[in-house]
């Protein structure tokens, strides 16, 4: 069912078209002039506009231009008499979807309306897909260790429920993969899975991203924007790094969880939202509650069910399976001949402490495949820092004289090793790791991405 706005100053046409479209299963708002239509558009979302061309005070072309200023992508169908077809064609050149000449056949109207709605749905789906592709994909939740088998069992049990879920684990353990698995296991699998990293945005921008905003809500808000919550309605909203959400925004998320309703920024209308909330964090929220930086009531609303991801160092038996999966993926993607992993290479991978967890393993395998010239991944295909260190201790990159590489390469490996060690010492908390290194958090995030240590 779509919400269609019908604008025509002729009462008979409004009655006939309303009955026709409602019989086809749509919701219709019929008004007699563009001024009433523009007022309605300020209060409600519509999927399609059907508008007469000749109307007093404001004609269909003026109305179309006014709509375009605020809702550029909204499909617009013009209803016109034969004598004004040329004007209707000009509107199509300006972006109108189509036109229909009066009198028209019912079947013709329904066909054009369905085409316009299909176009609108396709554009929305493409926008969602583009958002998700920008966040990164290409990994699987793989493993045969007891910890992973227990996790998969828990996902199967709680996935079908509408309950809010909190996913805990170090950076790089695959918290977004768990969110995807929960979405696929739910009755909402046909709906959208929308992901947002709370650490990426300022409080103001995150509020606008989540809740949307009305035109004029703030400087630069030139048109109404639907938020991620509206896009996730009937699906799942994944809030990554929830511990980074500001105290000012937390009450608004709490209200959403309690009442399943929210307001856009700058708006007064209550909008219902049936999105399942899945949150994730690599921080200790209970410590944050004690420190006054996270609301206790929000924590208990999110923490109905907690799923904890073990770090990769605690499930060494999964390393071979994951490494082979990534090797197969990147060999195909990069067109490289490597087909397997040498025994000594696998031993190095299993001895390493993996402070960056699965994401770091993925990055190292991708790099190894890129440099490999043999049928198997060899130790020399791995970074020097991994070959010279293991979980039981050993030489750091700067403690071994190796002149096979240039000074810039060696310095980059030393820097990567220091970043890894800082993240381990800080237990994955970026702010603490940045303080240890004496750099800003934004600089640390740049380096984590550069060295493949940041969870996507």
Structure confidence by residue, pLDDT tens digits, 253-312: 999 999 999 988 888 888 999 999 999 999 999 999 999 999 999 999 999 999 999 999
- Euclidean distance between CA atoms 169 and 171, whole angstroms: 7
Cis peptide before 103 (omega within 30 of 0): yes
| Nearest residue to 277 via CA among 308, 249, 253 | 253
Q: Across 27-148, where does the E strand assignment appear? A: 27-31, 48-52, 76-81, 98-102
Judge whether residue 402 has pLDDT over 80.
Answer: no
Nearest Cα neighbor of 382 from 342, 425, 420 is 342
Give pLDDT, residue 84. Answer: 63
pLDDT above 90 (res 243)? yes
Strand ranges (E), 172-304:
193-197, 236-240, 261-262, 271-272, 276-281
Mean pLDDT over residues 151-157, rounded?
Answer: 89
Q: What percent of the chain has pLDDT over 90?
A: 36
Q: What percent of the chain has pLDDT over 70?
A: 89
pLDDT at position 396 over 70: no
**Fold (CATH) for 3-132:** Rossmann fold (3.40.50)
Considering only residues 62 and 218, tell me which one the structure prediction assigns the higher pLDDT. 62
Residue 395 confidence class, pLDDT cut points 50, 70, 90:
very low
HSE at residue 281, side-chain half, CA atoms within 13 A, is 18
Q: Which of 138, 136, 154 is nearest to 146 (CA)?
A: 154
Strands (E), 146-224: 165-168, 193-197
Give the mean pLDDT of 340-361. Answer: 87
State the burial class of residue 133 (Cβ atoms within 10 Å of its Cβ: 0-12, 13-18, 19+). exposed
Tell me if 171 sits within 8 A of 428, measured CB to CB. yes
Query: According to the model, what pLDDT value does residue 127 have?
Result: 52
Closest CA to 396 of 374, 417, 368, 424: 417
Q: Say which range, 33-47, 60-74, 241-255, 374-388, has the weakest mean pLDDT.
A: 374-388
Q: Structural domain boundaries of the chain?
A: 3-132, 146-310, 313-450
Closest CA to 54 of 34, 40, 31, 24: 34
pLDDT of residue 258: 92
> What is the pTM (predicted TM-score) of this model?
0.57
**Contact by Cβ (8 Å): 175, 240:** yes
Q: Give the pLDDT band of residue 449 (cuts 50, 70, 90).
A: confident
pLDDT tens sequence across 178-224: 999 999 889 898 899 999 999 888 888 899 889 988 887 777 777 88
* 3-state SS, residue 72: coil
Cβ proximity of 173 and 357 under 8 Å = yes
pLDDT of amino acid 138: 36
Q: Which residue has the higher pLDDT, 275 or 89?
A: 275
pLDDT exceeds cutoff 80 at 390:
no
Query: What is the predicted pLDDT for the residue at 92?
Result: 80
Predicted confidence band of residue 237 (pLDDT cuts 50, 70, 90): very high
Residue showing tokens 């809740």: 211
Fold of 146-310: Rossmann fold (3.40.50)
What was the pLDDT predicted at 288? 95
- Range of lowest pLDDT (10-19, 83-92, 298-307): 83-92
Quote the longest CA-to-CA distance of the chain.
89
Same fold, 3-132 and 313-450: no
Q: How far apart are CA 267 and CA 204, in angstroms?
A: 15
- The pairing of strands 340-341 and 376-377 is parallel
Q: C-alpha distances in angstroms, 186 versus 149, 159, 239, 280, 382?
A: 19, 5, 17, 18, 40
Mean pLDDT of the chain: 84
Mean pLDDT of 404-426: 75
For residue 324, the model assigns a pLDDT of 84
The domain 313-450 is placed in CATH, from the list 1.10.10.10, 1.10.3470.10, 2.30.110.10, 1.10.8.60, at: 1.10.8.60
């Amino acid at each position: 069912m779509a919400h269609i706005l019908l604008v025509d100053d002729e009462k008979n046409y409004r009655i006939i078209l309303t009955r026709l479209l409602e019989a086809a299963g749509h919701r219709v708002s019929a008004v007699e002039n563009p001024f009433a239509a523009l007022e309605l558009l300020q209060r409600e979302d519509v999927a399609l506009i059907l508008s007469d061309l000749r109307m007093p005070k404001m004609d269909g072309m003026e109305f179309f231009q006014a709509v375009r200023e605020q809702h550029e992508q909204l499909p617009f169908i013009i209803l016109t008499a034969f004598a004004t077809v040329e004007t209707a064609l000009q509107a199509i050149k300006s972006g109108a979807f189509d036109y229909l000449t009066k009198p028209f056949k019912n079947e013709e109207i329904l066909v054009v309306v369905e085409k316009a709605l299909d176009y609108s749905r396709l554009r929305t789906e493409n926008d969602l897909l583009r958002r998700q592709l920008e966040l990164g994909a290409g990994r699987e939740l793989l493993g045969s260790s007891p910890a992973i088998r227990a996790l998969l069992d828990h996902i199967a049990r709680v996935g079908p429920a509408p309950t809010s879920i909190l996913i805990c684990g170090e950076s790089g353990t695959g918290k977004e993969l768990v969110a995807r698995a929960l979405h696929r296991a739910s009755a909402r699998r046909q709906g959208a899975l929308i992901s947002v990293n709370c650490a990426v945005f300022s409080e103001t921008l995150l509020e606008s991203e989540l809740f949307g905003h009305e035109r004029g809500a703030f400087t630069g808000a030139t048109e109404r924007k639907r938020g991620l919550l509206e896009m996730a309605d009937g699906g799942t909203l994944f809030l990554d790094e929830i511990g980074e959400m500001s105290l000012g925004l937390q009450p608004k998320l709490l209200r959403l969880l309690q009442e399943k309703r929210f307001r856009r920024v700058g708006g007064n209308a209550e909008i219902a939202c049936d999105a399942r909330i899945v949150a994730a964090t690599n921080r200790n929220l209970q410590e944050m509650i004690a420190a006054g930086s996270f609301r206790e009531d929000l924590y208990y609303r999110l923490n109905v069910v907690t799923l904890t991801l073990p770090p990769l160092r605690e499930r060494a038996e999964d390393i071979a399976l994951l490494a082979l999966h990534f090797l197969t993926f990147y060999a195909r993607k990069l067109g490289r001949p490597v087909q397997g992993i040498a025994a000594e290479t696998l031993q190095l991978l299993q001895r390493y402490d993996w402070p960056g967890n699965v994401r770091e393993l993925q990055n190292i395998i991708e790099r190894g495949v890129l440099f490999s010239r043999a049928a198997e991944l060899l130790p020399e295909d791995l970074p020097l820092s991994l070959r010279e260190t293991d979980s039981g201790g050993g030489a750091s990159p700067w403690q071994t004289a190796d002149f096979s590489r240039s000074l810039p390469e060696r310095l980059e490996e030393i820097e990567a090793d220091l970043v890894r060690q800082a993240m381990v010492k800080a237990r994955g908390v970026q702010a603490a790791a940045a303080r240890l290194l004496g750099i800003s958090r934004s600089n640390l995030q740049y380096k984590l991405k550069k060295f493949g240590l940041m969870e996507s």
